């Protein structure tokens, strides 16, 4: 009898193993190629096509759809297609390994591991967002509680000029947007039809307002981040870009940390490109997953190799400004920025307090990295946001610094619609507090959006493109002196410096040196006018 029991037990265990092996799991399947003969523009909105034409961005291989024949062959083996990405030329599937084996068109397969519930949805917020405070500050300039964080960036200047994000489109990718549809702070978005669309890439539906919860899951995170941009309560709170159009995309899984979430983000960014989004705000970051074999390491942060980083770089190449939280790993064993903050083209945002001091939790840039990461910083310590019940609270993290920058960048771009995403990003960087001496904590520093506006507003003039190539002016911005590098044979006859209203504040008729002492000039934006035998060149210069 004992032998029979033992035999049955062994048989039962064997059957369990065999059953487990045949259970469907999730995989990312990358294809080798795709057809490029389709009318790719059919996938894009009129707004997206017009935007590409305006800034001369061509459609390329990445825009073409996945080979539908490959998808049909997978479906013929009863493979369930969950998501797809034209940019990555890949699909997210649910299947057993045998079902997706031996296809000649498959380049590679990455398993998305099953996992238990995670104890914290967004590790980058674990130390700060639990603390909330409903106190409201004294009224100031109509912003009340949101004024200090906006004023740190001189963002109210854009609003005073009448730029509140009108006709700009912002997408927020996060973990859901609980109660946004009934929160008084967002009523104006719905009444003016500025909420253009939603999608939940985790559950494959358009329901993004239905997931609730507090610590440890923080499923109000997306709603909180949206409030920094779009939130508006009379005489209490004004977000940074309240009149923009919005798309809300739920990409983060609230019950686990899986590689699939990076794939979801890539799919959302691709959709942003197709519908004409201008600015994207991403307060998500990935370093480790529930299964250690899926973890990123620091080498991944240097090579733009994660699915999320690849997608952010492509999105930027399509003309979007993608703002990404640096991550709050500064006080953890990881220490550095997360992905996709590591992407070369990501506008990576660090965190400071109201006095400009770096938040200890804000993620460091990678050591010995020639890139400036993070790029800039905003207030992420005791930042004011609007909770899902419509009250005002205090929270922290780079997640909360990022949407502030995204909103103000949209307002700045509204003021200069002919500029590219790269020109907007560069102007913001050049306006920042430590542009000449960037570091691995807050990059170029804290931006000044009034100064960024002036940089973009000041015209430049050149009578000959050949002449411009013969001269370079550095450093720019400068502190005391500025140098002219002469690469050709033109003779400079005269140099004059004009202030931002056109008054001459410095002149030099006999140019016998390459270095000019401008220490007597106040800080600010100037024009350097150079007259030579080949023409006239006017360049913007900035004194910090």
CATH of the domain at 66: 3.30.70.80
SS3 state of residue 300: helix
User: Which residues constitute the domain of residue 75?
Assistant: 21-112
Both structure tokens of 448: 């000044």
Q: How confident is the model at residue 329 (pLDDT cuts 50, 70, 90)?
A: very high
- How many Å apart are CA 147 and CA 131, to the nearest integer? 20
150/96 same-domain check? no
Q: Is the pLDDT of residue 1 over 70?
A: no
- pTM, entire model: 0.82
pLDDT digits (tens, 9 = 90+) for 36-78: 888 899 999 999 999 898 888 989 999 999 999 999 999 999 9
Domain presence at residue 16? no
423/303 same-domain check? yes
- Of 56, 88, 112, the last residue of a domain is 112
pLDDT digits (tens, 9 = 90+) for 178-213: 999 999 999 999 999 999 999 999 999 999 998 765
Higher pLDDT, 258 or 56: 56
* Strand pairing category for 321-325 and 347-352: parallel
The closest alpha carbon to 386, from 234, 226, 247, 152, belongs to: 226
What CATH number does residue 482 fall under? 2.60.40.3080
Domain presence at residue 476? yes
Tokens 């992420």 label which residue? 380
98/26 same-domain check? yes
Domain presence at residue 4? no
Domain presence at residue 37? yes
372/510 same-domain check? no
467/500 same-domain check? yes
Long-range contact pairs involving 200-206 (C-beta distance under 8 Å, separation at least 24): 200/176, 200/249, 200/250, 201/83, 201/249, 201/250, 201/251, 201/264, 201/265, 201/267, 201/268, 202/250, 202/251, 202/252, 202/253, 202/254, 202/261, 202/264, 203/250, 204/82, 204/83
Q: Are 452 and 368 in contact (CB under 8 A)?
A: no
The closest alpha carbon to 317, from 60, 86, 83, 66, belongs to: 60
The closest alpha carbon to 158, from 404, 345, 436, belongs to: 404
Q: Is the pLDDT of residue 265 over 80?
A: yes
Higher pLDDT, 538 or 198: 198
172/103 same-domain check? no
Q: 214-228, 357-371, 476-490: which range is least confident on average? A: 214-228
137/75 same-domain check? no
Domain presence at residue 283? yes
Widest distance between CA atoms in the chain: 110
333/239 same-domain check? yes
451/407 same-domain check? yes
pLDDT digits (tens, 9 = 90+) for 419-447: 999 999 999 998 999 988 899 999 999 99
Domain presence at residue 2? no
Domain presence at residue 260? yes
- The count of domains in the chain is 3
Q: 170-174, 256-260, 408-412: which range is least confident on average? A: 256-260
94/133 same-domain check? no
271/176 same-domain check? yes
What CATH number does residue 247 fall under? 3.40.50.200
Domain presence at residue 473? yes
- Of 457, 477, 511, the last residue of a domain is 457
Both structure tokens of 41: 């523009």
Q: Is the pLDDT of residue 461 over 90?
A: no
DSSP count for the chain of H helices, then E strands? 14, 23
The closest alpha carbon to 388, from 250, 224, 248, belongs to: 224
Mean pLDDT within 525-532: 84
Q: Is the pLDDT of residue 16 over 90?
A: no
264/242 same-domain check? yes
- Of 435, 457, 479, the last residue of a domain is 457
């Amino acid at each position: 009898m004992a032998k029979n029991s033992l035999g049955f037990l062994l048989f039962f265990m064997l059957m369990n193993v065999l059953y487990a092996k045949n259970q469907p799991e999730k995989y990312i399947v990358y294809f080798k190629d795709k057809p490029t003969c389709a009318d790719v523009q059919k996938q894009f909105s009129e707004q997206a096509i017009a935007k590409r034409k305006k800034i001369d961005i061509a459609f390329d291989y990445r825009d073409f759809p996945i080979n539908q024949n490959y998808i049909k062959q997978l479906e013929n083996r009863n493979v369930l297609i969950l998501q797809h990405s034209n940019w990555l030329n890949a699909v997210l599937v649910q299947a057993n390994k045998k079902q997706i084996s031996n296809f000649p068109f498959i380049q590679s397969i990455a398993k998305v591991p099953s996992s238990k519930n995670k104890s914290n949805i967004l590790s980058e917020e674990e130390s700060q967002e639990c603390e909330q405070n409903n106190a409201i500050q004294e009224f100031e300039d109509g912003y009340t509680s949101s004024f200090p964080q906006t004023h740190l960036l001189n963002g109210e200047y854009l609003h005073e000029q009448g730029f509140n994000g009108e006709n700009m489109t912002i997408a927020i990718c996060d973990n859901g947007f609980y109660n946004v549809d009934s929160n008084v702070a967002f009523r104006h978005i719905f009444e003016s039809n500025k909420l253009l669309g939603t999608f939940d890439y985790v559950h494959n539906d358009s329901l993004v307002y239905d997931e609730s919860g507090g610590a440890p899951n923080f499923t109000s995170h997306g709603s909180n981040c949206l409030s920094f941009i779009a939130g508006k309560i009379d005489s209490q709170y004004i977000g940074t870009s309240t009149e923009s159009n919005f798309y809300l995309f739920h990409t983060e899984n609230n019950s686990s940390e899986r590689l699939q979430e990076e794939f979801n983000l890539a799919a959302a960014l691709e959709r942003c490109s197709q519908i004409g989004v201008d600015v994207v705000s991403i307060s998500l970051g990935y370093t480790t997953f529930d299964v250690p074999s899926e973890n990123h390491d620091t080498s991944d942060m240097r090579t733009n190799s994660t699915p999320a980083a690849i997608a952010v770089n492509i999105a930027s190449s399509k003309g979007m400004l993608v703002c990404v939280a640096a991550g709050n790993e500064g006080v953890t064993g990881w220490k550095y920025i997360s992905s996709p903050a590591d992407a070369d083209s990501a506008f990576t945002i660090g965190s400071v307090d109201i006095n400009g001091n770096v938040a200890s939790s804000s993620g460091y840039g990678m050591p010995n990295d020639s890139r400036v990461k993070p790029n800039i910083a905003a207030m992420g310590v005791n930042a004011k946001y609007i909770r899902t019940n419509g009250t005002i609270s205090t929270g922290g993290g780079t997640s909360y610094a990022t949407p502030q920058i995204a909103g103000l960048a949209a307002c700045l771009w509204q003021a200069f619609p002919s500029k590219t995403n790269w020109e907007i990003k560069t102007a913001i960087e050049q306006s920042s507090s430590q542009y000449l001496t960037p570091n691995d904590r807050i990059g170029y520093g804290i931006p000044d959006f009034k100064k960024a506006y002036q940089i973009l507003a000041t015209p430049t003039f050149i009578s000959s493109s050949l002449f411009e190539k013969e001269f370079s002016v550095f450093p720019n911005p400068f502190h005391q002196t500025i140098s002219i590098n002469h690469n050709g044979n033109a003779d400079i006859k005269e140099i004059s410096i004009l202030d931002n209203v056109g008054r001459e504040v410095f002149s030099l008729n006999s140019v016998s040196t390459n270095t000019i002492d401008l220490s007597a000039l106040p800080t600010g934006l100037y024009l350097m006018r150079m007259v030579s035998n080949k023409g006239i060149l006017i360049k913007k210069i900035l004194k910090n």
